[in-house]
Amino acid sequence: MAIRSKKLDSGGGFIFHFIEGALIQSIQNGDWVLLDEINLASDSVLNRLATIIEGNHILLNERADVVETKRHGDFRIFMCMNPPYTSAGKK
């Protein structure tokens, strides 16, 4: 997901344009996604991923308007992690 902004010529304000990222497109198209080193993700990222795993849709509340995105039946998400008891292989 990316949010691009453009400065207005007339007043110095900004126009924001929401662009769906690779994960949202994968959810819609039924692609497979691999998330490596998931143990390094922040709690906020893990909480957001939990909504994707548990439900059949995701609410994109980052947009100015809340949009429900349905999960394609073929969508798969794989997560890999290093053992939690060692720091070997971490960034």
Does 85 fall in a domain? no
- Number of folded domains that form the chain: 1
Is the pLDDT at 10 greater than 60, yes or no?
no
Residue 19 clears pLDDT 90, i.e. is over it: no
Closest C-alpha among 41, 6, 9, 26 to residue 77: 26
Domain ranges, residue 46: 2-7+15-79
- The pTM of this model reads 0.66
The answer to which of 15-19, 32-36, 51-55, 72-76 has the lowest mean pLDDT is 15-19
Q: Are 56 and 30 in contact (CB under 8 A)?
A: no
**45 or 91, which is more confident:** 45
Q: Dihedral, CA atoms, 46, 47, 51, 54, nearest 10 degrees?
A: 70
Q: Is residue 87 in some structural domain?
A: no
Which pLDDT score, from 0 to 100, does residue 62 have? 66
Q: For 46-67, what is the mean pLDDT?
A: 77
